[in-house]
Amino acid sequence: MKFPDSGRPRAEVMAELSAMKSGDADWRRGRVPLYVFKATQEAAEVGQEAFNLYFTENALGAKRAFSSLKKMEDEVAAMALDLFHAPAGAVGNMTTGGSESILMAVKAARDFARKQRGDRAHRGNLVLPGSAHPAFNKAALLMDLEVRRVAVAKDFRADPAAMAAACDRDTIMIVGSAPCFPYGAIDPIRELGQVAGAKNLWLHVDACVGGYVAPFVRDEGWPVPDFDFSVPEVSSLSADLHKFGFAPKPASTVFYRDAEKRAGQTFSIDEWPNGRFVTETLTGTRAGGAVAAAWALMQTLGRPGYRRIARDLMRMRDAYVEGIEKIPGFRVFGAPHLTLLGFGAADLDMGRVAEGMQKRGWVPGMLKDPPGLHLMMSLLHAEARNDYLRDLAASAAEVRATSGKAKIEAVYS
């Protein structure tokens, strides 16, 4: 396509947009296992209304031009620090997503280690469970750090002893997830804290997926292990507002036990004609609407609203687990704490099962190790449960009844 020589009527353009969108996956009926999150219709409307109210404002200018955005971002951080049992002196801010939050925490840990060692060129390494998010590898690639991934234990959670053995004098950070994306299990953060304390290491908790729902799941009576600043050795924590905080994208948060640990996150540049340029994020421009929407949702829902959503999510999760494990040969991997599930059947080619689900109109989430399917569910998936379980059983039966192999890559094409 070439750049248009002339404009087109607005109605014509909007009609074409609608037509293009009609071919996308049907996320509204729960047919997509990730990417999109929804709580209640009211929460969605609050988020959209608040976002649109600040549609044009730029959070980069919050300190100089948009004081309301500065107030809201500070209050979002303060409310989250309260939720995550942070001590006095803890600090944090919003970012545009989990990958940015993780990248900033890794940079802060790297610069903190360099300052402590008095070596501004120290390279360092990160020790992660094998289930940790690829964003840590992305951060390491950008900063020329070594990554050491350690196999998870039989329960699909991080193995603290194995991770301790992988650390050496150059280790600058160890990581635990709350929960990990592949299996939905919260790593043993207290035990990882003991490793961090014994070796004087920075412990980061990646709660990007579960941070804004796990506390309320626990309040509603489901078991959730300690994962936040209540563990004394946790140095930093990331949590996404646009996942189970249900805010519009792009909105995440990153927090530190104290300001000294966050110091390395800050970019301060005074080497151009306009003078000093300071940001706490990798990005410059940030959507003001995301800040306003996150603040509005926290204020509108409060603890009671988030607890009701958590209760409904977990009841839905339990019903999915029960239904999946009624299908011959299927089991859920490990003991997931929230609404992320990995599951499969050892006697089936799960790539072919995924193809069957795709043929029936689902976007199949995939697991490579062990081979299986994956779901990261919000309340969008509640009404889809019976259809999903019916089609999963039919796809499995179809694979059992036929012979031959299909390439697992086919579902990614």
Reference 399, options 364, 319, 316; nearest CA is: 364
CATH number of the domain where residue 268 is located: 3.40.640.10
Same-domain pairing of 141 and 225: yes
What kind and span of H or E run contains 392?
helix 385-401
Q: What is the dihedral of CA 107, 112, 115, 117, to 10 degrees?
A: -110
Q: Does residue 409 carry a pLDDT above 60?
A: no
* Tokens of residue 256, six digits: 């530190």
Q: Does residue 404 carry a pLDDT above 80?
A: no
What is the rounded average pLDDT of the residues 94-110? 97
Query: Which residue is associated with the tokens 């540049």?
Result: 269
Q: In this prediction, what percent of the chain has a pLDDT beyond 70?
A: 97
CA–CA dist 239, 215 (Å, integer): 12
What is the rounded average pLDDT of the residues 270-297? 93
Same-domain pairing of 53 and 155: yes
Domain-located, residue 12: no
Same-domain pairing of 94 and 241: yes
CA–CA dist 170, 405 (Å, integer): 45
Same-domain pairing of 194 and 261: yes
* Tokens of residue 337, six digits: 């704490």
Domain-located, residue 391: yes
The β-bridge partners of 93 are 254
* Residue that finishes a domain, picked among 299, 334, 351: 299
User: What's the confidence (pLDDT) of residue 406?
Assistant: 47
User: What's the confidence (pLDDT) of residue 203?
Assistant: 98
Domain-located, residue 128: yes
User: To 5 degrees, how large is the angle CA 364–CA 366–CA 369?
Assistant: 160
* Tokens of residue 230, six digits: 């209540």
Structural domain count of the chain: 2
Same-domain pairing of 194 and 318: no
Q: In this prediction, what percent of the chain has a pLDDT beyond 90?
A: 92
Strands 372-376 and 365-367, how do they pair? Answer: antiparallel
Strands 171-177 and 125-129, how do they pair? Answer: parallel
Digit-coded pLDDT (tens) for 162-202: 999 999 999 999 999 999 999 999 999 999 999 999 999 99
Q: Could you list the residue range(s) of the whole structural domain that residue 315 is in? A: 26-39+302-402
Strands 171-177 and 202-206, how do they pair? Answer: parallel
Domain-located, residue 410: no
* Residue that finishes a domain, picked among 299, 321, 343: 299
Domain-located, residue 19: no
Same-domain pairing of 322 and 184: no
What is the rounded average pLDDT of the residues 156-163? 98
**Are 344 and 367 a contacting pair, CB within 8 Å?**
yes
* Tokens of residue 201, six digits: 């290491």
Domain-located, residue 252: yes
CA–CA dist 39, 378 (Å, integer): 7
What is the rounded average pLDDT of the residues 283-287? 92
User: What's the confidence (pLDDT) of residue 410?
Assistant: 45
Q: Does residue 307 carry a pLDDT above 70?
A: yes
**Phi and psi based region of residue 266 (left: phi greater than 0; alpha: psi -120 to 50; beta: remaining):** beta
CA–CA dist 46, 287 (Å, integer): 16
Neighbours of 22 (CB within 10 A): 8
* Residue that finishes a domain, picked among 272, 299, 326: 299
- 3-state SS class at 42: helix
Reference 236, options 202, 211, 263; nearest CA is: 202
CATH number of the domain where residue 355 is located: 3.90.1150.10
Digit-coded pLDDT (tens) for 193-234: 999 999 999 999 999 999 999 999 999 999 999 999 999 999
Q: How confident is the model at residue 403 (pLDDT cuts 50, 70, 90)?
A: low
Same-domain pairing of 253 and 385: no
Same-domain pairing of 209 and 122: yes
* Tokens of residue 188, six digits: 């043993």
Same-domain pairing of 278 and 323: no
Same-domain pairing of 145 and 63: yes
* Tokens of residue 338, six digits: 């929230």
Q: Does residue 413 carry a pLDDT above 60?
A: no
The β-bridge partners of 366 are 373
The per-residue pLDDT of the chain, averaged, comes to 94
Q: How confident is the model at residue 408 (pLDDT cuts 50, 70, 90)?
A: very low
Same-domain pairing of 326 and 281: no
Reference 179, options 104, 229, 239; nearest CA is: 239
Domain-located, residue 98: yes
**Are 294 and 94 a contacting pair, CB within 8 Å?**
yes
Q: Which residues contact 150 (CB under 8 A, 6 or more apart)?
A: 127, 128, 129, 130, 158, 159, 162, 163, 166
User: What's the confidence (pLDDT) of residue 209?
Assistant: 96
**Phi and psi based region of residue 89 (left: phi greater than 0; alpha: psi -120 to 50; beta: remaining):** left
Q: How confident is the model at residue 281 (pLDDT cuts 50, 70, 90)?
A: very high
Digit-coded pLDDT (tens) for 340-390: 999 999 999 999 999 999 999 999 999 999 999 999 999 999 999 999 999
CA–CA dist 112, 109 (Å, integer): 5
Same-domain pairing of 131 and 265: yes
Domain-located, residue 9: no
